[in-house]
Structure 1
Amino acid sequence: MQGELPDWRRAIRETAWLYEPLREFFAERSARHQGLREQLNAARMPVTVETYLARSAVLAAVAGVGGAIAGAALTWWLAASGTLASLSGVPGTGGLGRFVGANRGLVVGVVLPVALAAAFAVGAWYARYYLPGRRAAGRARKIGVGYPAAITFMYALSRGGLDIVEILERLAADEETYGEVAREAGLVVNQMDYLGKDFMQALRESSEVTPSPILSDFFSDLLSIVESGGSVESFLQDQREDAVQEARSVQAEYLERVELFAEVYVTLLVAGPLFALILLMVMGITGTSTLSQVNAIVYLGIPGGSVLALLVLDQLGAPFRQTARQPSDAVGRRPERPDDEAVAAYAERKRRGELWRRLSNPRQLFTDEPLRVLVVSVPLALVAVGLLVAAGLVSPSLSAFRAAPLAATVFLLVVPAFVALVPLAVFQELRQRRLDTIRRRFPSVLSSWASANRMGLRPSDALQIASDRADNVLARELRQVHNETEWFDDLRGALLRLARRSRTRVGTRTLRLVVEADEASGNLDETLSVAAEDARMDRELERARSRELSSYVVAALISFLVYLAILMLINEFYFEQAVAIGQQAGADTAGLPLSLQSIDAAGFRLAFIHSSLVQAVFIGLMTGKLSRGRVLAGLKYSLALLAVTVVVFGVV
């Protein structure tokens, strides 16, 4: 049923009476949490301060109970494992220490649950308390990134003759494209529509609650311009120029954070594991059993840390991610075909022809969405493993990995990975090149379209001329827009459908800008000129970002080669030599430790090979994330580094 609440919201509503005493308690002390109130407003979290604090208190209590249960379970485990029995009193503490030693089970059983309960409860409380501030800061960053595009949109509408209130209304209605900036504009509109405030008052209050200093200054300056009767169009033009500089500043800050992140990543997840593996290997040679720690680093530490690093990098680059916000307007759908049997038959034949074309040429299907190829490549990888096992080349067992670590790893892991992932990497690269072509050529196509339209041609004819000057990718899309416009006489709908197909942020944003500005003014050539300049600025920023990040890509690849070289040198000239000496010498050989004969050499060799392969995979993915903002873009690097690793271990 429409409007039905989710289960968790219904549960909160039904148990709301439980929160009432807590709400009253925090309501009496609301003055102490004025900062939290401002952060809730800035984060656009629709909840009052007292309700939020009451829920936080309940969550902290639940976390405390969970901590107490965890402490009790840990106490039971310590007692069952005999750890408690080995504890004694603390020396030098007198009677208290003797009491603790004599009653260690009782003391630990009380202290540990209480300590964990307190830690869990306090941690949950402060995590909730500072959550709105973190969300507000995240919104401020997103507003800073989207601000230049929003100002361009407002400037284009202003040139079309719309007043500032209508401009803000259209901006607020386009949240899919302009994100958090549109939500801030929506706050101004909602205060006028639902609270009955005038424009000046709504603008003033919005400037006070927005989390972005940039947008707060914009609202304040706009308020001054409107009050003084100045030119809003000139003001927006100046703000647009300033926004370009601000965008460069925001990007520079982002690149600084990425530089620091790259240094930390190489130190902790490349140099750190290498140092740990060497140290544990030396300790293993001298008699300490360290293979379990080595395996923990190889199979848990490096993958877990790398996944966490990818998530952190994803959060750092979220505002700059080139993803498309898909238009959901009904006008973006094609018009219904007439109720005519001949037309219906033609449409059915065309649908079948399109389906046959896709099935006979799956390249386009996989290029549009590369992950689809896994439906074919993963079964092929499993078949390849089955054939290798059936041919007797390898046995899928741990003993096979220990007896022939490189051969078993190649046949059971590397070969299936290549069969499954090489097609994905190829189609991902084809898709990326297509998107790069669209982003690179889009500004010049818009300029050509504006020039042709300025000559007095119809928009559809001007678009056809622009398509003749475009390359294959854009030309095909523009011809489709031209054909749809000729058939349905609906340029707006055709452009919105192109925005949906473009799958790039700049394409979606620019085309929607053209649609909205043309609908407001009808002056398409001016709108296209502004849109072309906006797309050109976005392309320049992306090029600058790619140039800066290319150095980090090279550093990541070199760090892997250094990791592999050092590990090979240590393995070949130290570990292998030490094991060979231990195997040749007898047990009574003077001066040699017995550990040289008992060390698990096969386990260490397997760990060395797998650590290099794991690093190859994740450093490659990290490289793709740095250079393109997508993990899948790093598959080609991962596969190349895997091949290098196999060759190095096979030759040396």
Structure 2
Amino acid sequence: MWVNGCGSTVALNGFCTGIWLLKRGNMTYTILDELAYLFYGDFFYKNKEYFQDLKVKIRHSHISMSVDQYLASTFMYSVIVGITSGIFGLWLGLKIFGSPVSRLSLFVDPARADIAGEYVYPLALLVGLILFLVSFFAVFLVAYIYPYFQANNRQASIDKSMLPAITYMYALTKGGMSIYDVFRSLSRYSYIFGATAEEISYVVRDMDYLGKDFISSLKIAKERTPSEIFKDFVDGLIIVSSSGTITEYIKNKSEQYQGLAEMANRNLLQRLDVLAEIYVTALVAGPLFVMVTLVVLQFFRPASAQILYMLIYIILPLATLLYLVLLDTVGELSIDPKKGDIRSFTINLSDIPEINSGFTEEVEQKRKKMYMLYRELHRLKDMVLNPYRTIRNEPRYTFFFGVPLGLYYLTQLPRNLRNSLFSSFHHLNISFDHVTDSAIKLVTAVDDYFVIFIVVALIPFIIFYEIKAWRMRKIDEKMPDFLKSLSSMNESGIMLANSLKIIAESKMGILSKELKKLKEDLSWGTSTSKALMNLENSIRTPSSSRILHILVKANESTSDLKNVLSITARQVRNDEDMKKERSSAMVVYVITIYVAFFVFLFIVYILATNFFPQTASFSTSSQGMGGIGGYFNVEEYSMLMFHSALVQAFTSGIVAGKMGQGSAYLGLKYSVSMVIITYVAFTMFV
């Protein structure tokens, strides 16, 4: 069908654009970029004054290319994709307009089909030209706005991570550490303190490797960052850096940014209200209206089913994907920034003296490889001996047995269906006719098995991901009480180590087991800092990592932890209050999406069970009396309604999770539940 051709074009354009943008994000410079600058660089260099805003966004995005180089590469990739799409469009036009007249009813009026057949090559060239222009401008536009999108994402990430980073700075400056050493320390923990620590690391880089002084590095950072909050902090830091009031300045900024965080949370909830209405209107009610309209149009233009194929299998999933991208642009929906894989972290060894082992470089390399091999074997051994803990920490490992279970179920297909399915793949051919009745019957018989395969493959992942999310949520809920107890004991003059031992004996819920391990470490003579880091490695939630690192650095810097604990406890309590406020508000969005889905399911169910059989009877009688009306295939349209409900169920669940809990993965439980409801409704009652 021609829909497959259009889908291939969309996939090709998306793949090429995605690969290029991924390369830009990874700051990779290729030979093709050099050729692009050779051909088009001079033009964009002479006209770069027209792209000053783009230049700023490229710098904000940390893309290591000049604006003229970026535009030259963008133009080159757009031309390549455009030419590829144009050639495909030429072939597509020849297939369409070189087909029999009966196959052109979707594109031209049947009365004019003969005329279209006389101009096959000009029309094919026109199709190729249109696809070239559409692909060229689409790729160029996407690449052009990518730095804006990336800069907005960085701004949201920096704004979100400013408050914990400021608290960390306060803990160190309170102990008498210089602001430069504070920056150096913070720059090493970007995996904990997020984008703010990354911005700080560029300040440290400019001083260490480019020979800039502290003030000059701050001014450069001010121009480089997309965050107005970070600029405000740097402006004030430049002013107070020569005085002795840096600690007081950072403390005041911590209180100020706490108020800004609460305001940003309220603004985000207001934006989500609008986005929820947009989703229901554009991606639930809109497709439903189009589907009903196309069913009615089947009486006047029989090829309208092919538009339904495009709507259900291409447009609706892509539109949902774009909506998820839109949700990412409005701000972080999750309170905590992404925490990376600890195995990918690198350790800064600049403060560790180099020791000559006495081995040659070749021997050193062999020993290093053996050590890395030992680490991997140790990790695999730990995975085998502690499967529950491994899967709890990394739920994606469930696919190692979830997918095989689903595949085993697929092998239970009846032999005749397996043979028909393999035969269909073997004789796969692109056609512009309607789907044949035999193909519809085959898909209808097989799709049940694939639905169950998806459910079986996802359920283990959903269970363990929900367990992980529940555990992290409960740990974070206990952290304010933990800090409050520490602060109270510190005010009473009790040392931090003794305070931790006392708290370990109290009831701290899910933290009790981990705190008892910490007490044992302290009892065996482990230093307080080491014991806290062991606790962090055991808990491994983003919020607890930030808190425990602040405690470690504060304990190493000063014995007076009163102010640090007070500010940290207040910040964590406010964060938890914002989480609860957001969770309460987001329940409404989940309910809204569920209601919208059930309305969608009810209407397509009514169409499949009542409207389609009556329509088929009317179509047959109308044709017998010589009236208008085309052939209406009840099985085909029922299949399309079933698949549309499945697609809507899966995508709606993902959106509900993203809006309701800040994670698309947490939306999979909604997706699977709605898919099961759809499957039961259509298999038992249709």
Q: Would you call these one fold, judging by a TM-score over 0.5?
A: yes
Distance 1:291 1:134, change over 3 A: closer
**Structure 2 counterpart of 1:138, one-letter code:** N
- Distance in 2, matches of 1:264 and 1:621, equals 16
Matched residue SS, 1:475: helix
| In structure 1, C-alpha distance between the alignment counterparts of 2:134 and 2:316, rounded to whole Å | 28
Q: CA deviation at 1:317?
A: 4.9
**Structure 2 counterpart of 1:250, which letter?**
A
Counterpart residue number, 2:173 = 158
Identity %: 26
Structure 2 unaligned runs (5+)? 1-25, 105-116, 350-376, 425-436
Structure 1 match to 2:304: 290
User: Which residue of 1 is the match for residue 236 of structure 2?
Assistant: 221
C-alpha distance in 2 between matches for 1:293 and 1:252: 41
SS at match of 2:177: coil
Distance 1:400 1:502, change over 3 A: farther
Matching of residue 383 in structure 1 with residue 408 in structure 2? yes
Alpha carbons 2:93, 2:123 under 8 Å: kept: no
Q: For the residues of structure 1 that align with 2:412 and 2:386, how far apart are their CA atoms?
A: 28
Partner in structure 2 of residue 248 of structure 1? 262
Q: CA RMSD in A?
A: 4.4
For residue 586 of structure 1, report the CA deviation from its aligned partner: 9.9
Alpha-carbon deviation of 1:380?
Answer: 2.3
Distance 1:118 1:396, change over 3 A: closer
Once residues 279 and 666 of structure 2 are traced to their aligned partners in structure 1, the CA distance between those partners, rounded to angstroms, is: 19
Please list the CA deviations of residues 213-257 of structure 1 after superposition, one character each: whole Å capped at 9, or x if unmatched. Answer: 222222222333345x46333322221121012112323333344
CA displacement, residues 247-281 of structure 1 (integer Å, 9 cap, x when unaligned): 12323333344333322222222112211221222
Letter in 1 for 2:660: S
SS for the counterpart of 1:290 is helix
Select which of 425, 428, 453 maps to 1:416.
453
Partners of 2:93 and 2:128 within 8 A in 1: no
**Cα distance in 1 between the residues matched to 2:316 and 2:145:** 31
Offset at residue 488 of structure 1 (A): 6.2
Q: 2:552 aligned with 1:515, yes or no?
A: yes
Tell me, what secondary structure is at the counterpart of 1:249?
Answer: helix
Match of 2:638 among 585, 605, 623: 605
Q: CA deviation at 1:163?
A: 3.6
Query: CA offsets, 1:355-380, max 9 Å, x none?
Result: 99976885444332222222223222
For 2:640, what is the secondary structure of its paired residue? helix
The 1-side partners of 2:234 and 2:564 are apart by 24
In the TM superposition, 1:446-595 aligns within 5 A as: 446-453=483-490, 455=492, 457=494, 459-471=496-508, 473-487=510-524, 489-524=526-561, 526-580=563-617, 588=624, 595=630
Aligned to 2:398: 373
Amino acid in structure 1 at the alignment position of 2:247: E
Change (3 A) 1:471 1:414: farther
Query: Is the counterpart of residue 444 in structure 1 residue 481 in structure 2?
Result: yes
- Paired letter, 1:440: E
Among 311, 315, 318, the residue aligned to 1:304: 318
The 8 Å contact of residues 19 and 54 in structure 1, kept in 2 or not, is answered as yes
Say which is worse superposed, 619-628 or 550-559, in terms of deviation.
Answer: 619-628
Alignment of 1:146 with 2:171, yes or no, is: no
- How far is 1:572 from its partner? 3.4
**Do the aligned partners of 1:461 and 1:482 also contact (CA within 8 Å) in 2?**
no
After the TM superposition, which of the residue ranges 381-390 and 269-278 deviates more from structure 2?
A: 381-390
2:63 to 29, 45, 66: 45
Distance 1:520 1:435 in 2: 29
Q: What CA distance in whole angstroms lies between the structure 1 residues aligned with 2:135 and 2:447?
A: 43
Q: Return the offset for 1:483.
A: 3.1
2:71 is the alignment partner of 1:56: yes
The unaligned stretches of length 5 or more in structure 1 are 1-6, 88-100, 333-351
Separation of aligned partners in 1, 2:183 and 2:76: 44
Secondary structure of the structure 1 residue equivalent to 2:414 = helix
Letter in 2 for 1:299: Y
Change (3 A) 1:325 1:450: farther
TM-aligned CA distance change 1:593 to 1:258, over 3 Å: same
Cα–Cα, structure 1 residues 444 and 393, in superposed 2: closer, same or farther, change >3 Å? farther
Work out whether 1:620 is the aligned partner of 2:634. no
Q: Contact 1:381–1:420 (CA<8 Å) still a contact in 2? A: yes
Q: C-alpha displacement at 1:441, in angstroms?
A: 0.9
Task: Report what 2:245 is aligned to.
Answer: 231
Larger Rg: 1
- SS of alignment partner, residue 298 of structure 2: helix
Write the distance in 2 (CA, Å) between the matches of 1:483 and 1:642: 48
- The range that moved more, 354-363 or 246-255, is 354-363
Q: Tell me if the contact between 1:142 and 1:319 (Cα under 8 Å) persists in the aligned partners.
A: no
- Aligned residue in 1 for 2:368: none
- With normalisation by structure 1, the TM-score equals 0.78
Instruction: Name the counterpart of 1:185.
Output: 200
Question: What is the CA deviation profile of residues 161-211 of structure 1, one whole-angstrom value per residue up to 9, with x for unaligned ones?
Answer: 334333333333332222332233334444444455544444344334432
Aligned ranges 1:168-183 → 2 under 5 Å: 168-183=183-198
Whether 1:277 aligns to 2:302 is no
Distance 1:83 1:497, change over 3 A: farther
Q: What is the distance in 2 between the residues matched to 1:67 and 1:274?
A: 33
Deviation at 1:117, TM superposition (A): 6.5
State how far apart, in whole Å, the 1-side matches of 2:317 and 2:670 are. 17
Q: What residue number does 1:342 align with?
A: none
Question: Aligned pair count?
Answer: 602
* Pairwise CA distance, 1:143: 1.6
Paired amino acid for 1:155: Y
> Which amino acid in structure 2 is aligned with residue 648 of structure 1?
A
Q: Which amino acid aligns with 1:270?
A: V
Residues in 2 aligned to 1:119 and 1:394: alpha-carbon distance in whole angstroms: 40
CA distance, structure 2, for counterparts of residue 651 and residue 105 of structure 1: 50
Contact 1:41 1:209 in 2 (8 A): yes
Does structure 2 retain, via aligned residues, the 8 Å contact 1:68–1:114? no
Distance 2:572 2:54 in 1: 39
Structure 1 window deviating more from structure 2 (273-282 vs 114-123): it is: 114-123
Rounded to whole Å, the distance in 1 between the matches of 2:279 and 2:44 is 43
> 1:389-414: CA deviations, max 9, x gaps?
37x9999769799569988654x134
Deviation at 1:35?
A: 4.7
The Cα shift of 1:383 comes to: 2.9
